[in-house]
Amino acid sequence: MKTKSREQRERMLGYFFILPAVIYMLVFIGYPIVYNWIISFQDVTATTLASSARDFVGFDNYKAVFADSTFQKALLHTFIYTVGCLVIQFSLGFLFAMFFAKKFTVSKPIRGFIVISWMLPVTVTALVFKFMFAEGNGIINTILMNLHIIKEPIGWLLNGSTAMWGLIIANSWVGIPFNMLLLTTGLNNIPADVYEAASIDGASGLQKFRKITLPLLKPTIMSVLILGFVLTFKVFDLVYVMTGGGPVDATEVLSTYSYKLSFQLFHFGEGSAVANVLFVCLFIVALIYLKTISKDEVI
Amino acid sequence: MKKIHLRDKQKNILFCVLGILIACIFLFPLYWIIVNSFKLDSEIFASVPTLWPHELTFTAYKDQLANLGTTMKNSIIIAVGSMIISLCLSVPAAYGLARYKVKGMKVFIMVFLVTQMLPASLVLTPLFLIFSKAHLLNSYLAPILSTATISIPFIVLMLRPSFLNMPRELEDAAKIDGCNAVSAFFRVAIPISKPTVITAACFSFVYAWNDLAYSMTFNTKDAMRPMTAAIYTFMNQYGTKWNSIMAYGVLLILPSCIIFVTMQKHIVEGMTSGSVKG
């Protein structure tokens, strides 16, 4: 009897600590997501914004969006951007993690310090890369010309074909240390005696990497890639500030296009329809993520 | 690993040089913001960019500081407000999830894991409509309430492991001495995990300070905009005044840099536990 009431009190206390934050997230993220689905089936424009009785238009917003060539491009660009970033971020992040895992005098301070790019406002990162990629005398053109890699300055962000590269490189600058950090944690969790045993058995460096590092690092690699996908796929600030989706719509991605529809053209219904496409993509990946980590019993 | 263990000095030096080289190349953009903020416009537009300012000037800073007042105030109010809300909600939640066995604990953790992954651009339109109905547009509350959603899940996930690792005996002892659960939380749990809680405060401040999407969308009036939105507008208006833009950028990254440099170890640890573990 006594233990039961104590258990109950414990549980009440637990809720008292936990629920406020959960409710807050449900109100400011959960409810808006549901509301977003409702809006996407309504005719919401600047004129109908204030009225509470908005017409339901069925799938009209989705039909309009999917028929829109800019949307198709935005969807494609989002995937190109994400894959491009993931490849660069992950491979360089991995190299950095392996390199700084070696114990030399300055390995730890440097590894810690380059993470600073992750903390900076993306707005500023976007601006400085825009400056470095400038056509006239941007530092990147100057360096490439001095190395005789290019003959004439390239308008990196002004050409549809190169603008996406500018974005991918700028984003990788933020993503590399993040990947490195998570992979470093994974590497540190591999017990040293496994390597020692392999050395005694006469395994070469490459063999150890392929037979020990990679398999044992697999869970970390999975979560780094999935997390990286989610963080990259939702890009907004970087594209918005660096290219604004341009030139024309060569770098338009889902989030910037949704923003444009809602807050520049005031087609809120279509804007939220695009956001929902983004949501579905992210949600699928988030589910995969939850499945992988619950397998590893991290929770 | 023993075999590669750097016994000889030469190898160590080689790796150090290589490491420093990587760091220099990698951190070049940061260097580039700073040096260009001290250059004259004419020097920035010289056909060959100079690696350091040949003529040091502070005019860009003087110009920027003169009209910085309002936007900096806005940024500070938004970041501090967001930090307070986020700490008040997420620290107890992390503690509760670590200390109490409640029904649906997995679901609660799931809520934080999933909401952490969902971006601002997903909820911009609905939140805009909700805030406009509540007459919260162009107020401090709109960006404060929305940016807190970025840091709350992150902090919960980051702090929970540190509360889990805290020895239970301390709180039990406090309870025997007459503390109830709430005062045990305030008097024992928080003081013990002070470094992590401070790290959490830093993260929530920086997340709100760095935000562009929410603040720019909800606050359209110049007088209510934070520095991130202002620098973007400034760039569109004076796109070629790069030294001013860079000076403004330096002022904008200053809080993040100071926080990072002073608390680097904790920040780096927090980043890993906040983003992967549950």
Q: Is A267 helix (H, G, I), strand (E, B) or coil?
A: strand
Nearest to B33 among A39, A104, A128 (CB): A128
- The DSSP string of B46-86 is SSS--SS-SS---HHHHHHHHTTHHHHHHHHHHHHHHHHHH
> Do residues B119 and A255 lie in contact, with contact meaning Cβ atoms separated by under 8 Å?
yes
Residue A272 lies in a domain: no
Return the pLDDT at B5. Answer: 53
Beta bridge partners of A45: A267
Measured between alpha carbons, how far is B245 from B63 in angstroms, rounded to an integer? 11
Is B207 domain-assigned?
Answer: yes
User: Is residue B164 situated within a structural domain?
Assistant: yes
For this complex, say whether ipTM is above 0.90: no
Domain annotation covers residue A270: no
- Closest C-alpha among B265, B144, B147, B258 to residue B196: B265
Which residue of A25, A106, A182 is in closest CB contact with B152? A25
Q: Which domain holds residue A137?
A: 70-262+282-295
A94 touches chain B (CB under 8 A): no
Position A110 in a domain: yes
B130 touches chain A (CB under 8 A): yes
Task: Judge: A131–B32 Cβ closer than 8 Å, yes or no.
Answer: yes
Say whether A237 and B278 touch across the interface (CB within 8 A).
no
Mean pLDDT (whole number) for A27-56: 83
Nearest to B231 among A50, A103, A123 (CB): A123
Q: Is residue B16 in a domain?
A: no
For residue B18, being part of any structural domain is answered with no
User: Cα separation of B253 and B251, whole Å?
Assistant: 6
Any domain includes B213? yes
A242, A235 contact by CB (below 8 A): no
pLDDT of residue B244: 83
Nearest to B26 by CA among A282, A76, A19, A95: A95
Quote the tokens at residue B170: 């301390």
Among the listed residues B220, B224, B223, B248, the one whose alpha carbon sits nearest the alpha carbon of residue B234: B248
**A38, part of any domain:** no
Burial A51-73 (b: 16+ CB within 10 A, else e): eeebeebeebbbebbeeeebbeb
Number of domains in chain A: 1
What confidence score (pLDDT) does residue B191 get? 86
Residues of B in contact with A110 (CB under 8 A): 19-20, 22-23
- From the list B140, B160, B131, B164, the residue with the least C-alpha distance to B85 is B140
Q: Is the pLDDT of residue A182 over 80?
A: yes
Q: How far is CA B93 from the centre of its chain?
A: 20
Average pLDDT for A196-215: 84
- Does residue B115 contact residue A22 with C-beta atoms inside 8 Å? no
Tell me, what CATH number does A232's domain have?
1.10.3720.10
Number of domains in chain B: 1
Q: Is residue A23 part of a domain?
A: no
**Whole-number pLDDT of residue A298:** 46
Partners of A42 in the β-ladder = A56
Identify from B30, B89, B118, B125 which residue to disrupt to test chain A contact, counting A C-beta atoms within 10 A and taking the largest count. B125
Q: Say if CB B92 and CB A20 are below 8 A apart.
A: yes
Locate B10 and state its tokens. 């030469």
- Cα atoms in the Cβ-side hemisphere of radius 13 Å centred on A221: 10
Closest CA to B83 of B195, B191, B211, B190: B211
Q: Indicate whether A68 pLDDT > 80.
A: yes
Can you give the CATH number for the domain in which B150 is found?
Answer: 1.10.3720.10
Residues of A in contact with B46 (CB under 8 A): 137
Give a yes or no: residue A54 inside a domain. Answer: no
Where in the sequence is the domain holding B258, given as residue range(s)? Answer: 68-275
Structure tokens at B249: 């950028």
The pTM is what? 0.89
Q: Is B255 strand, coil or helix?
A: helix
Q: B169-175: long-range contacts at Cβ-Cβ below 8 A with a sequence spacing of 24 or more?
A: B171/B99
pLDDT at B168: 83
A window 59-88, beta carbon within 8 A of B: none
DSSP assignment letter at B195: H
User: What is the pLDDT, as a whole number, of residue A299?
Assistant: 41
- Torsion, Cα A44 A46 A51 A56, to 10 degrees, reads -20
Return the bridge partners of A56, or none: A42
Tell me if A174 is assigned to some domain. yes
Chain A CB contacts of B89 under 8 Å are 20-21, 24
Question: How far is the alpha carbon of A179 from chain B, nearest alpha carbon, in Å?
Answer: 10
Say yes or no for a CB contact (<8 Å) between A99 and B265.
Answer: no
For chain B, give percent helix, strand, coil, nearest 5. 75, 0, 25
Torsion sign, CA atoms B182, B187, B188, B192: positive
Q: Which residue of B has its CA nearest to A21?
A: B89
Between CA A271 and CA A257 the distance in angstroms is 8
Whether residue B251 is contained in a domain is answered as yes
Mean model confidence pLDDT for chain A: 86
Does A134 fall in a domain? yes
Residues A72-107 pLDDT 10s: 999 999 999 999 999 999 999 999 999 988 888 888
Q: Is the pLDDT of residue A297 over 70?
A: no
pLDDT at A50: 66
CA atoms within 13 A on the CB side of A225: 12
Q: Is the distance from CB of B36 to CB of A131 less than 8 angstroms?
A: yes
Q: Determine, yes or no, domain membership for B25.
A: no
Q: Is B23 in Cβ contact with A114 (below 8 Å)?
A: yes
- Split chain B (278 residues) into runs of 10 and give each run's mean pLDDT: 59 89 92 87 74 77 77 93 95 91 85 84 89 90 93 91 84 82 84 88 93 92 89 82 85 90 84 64
Residue B58 lies in a domain: no
Percent with pLDDT over 70 in chain A: 95
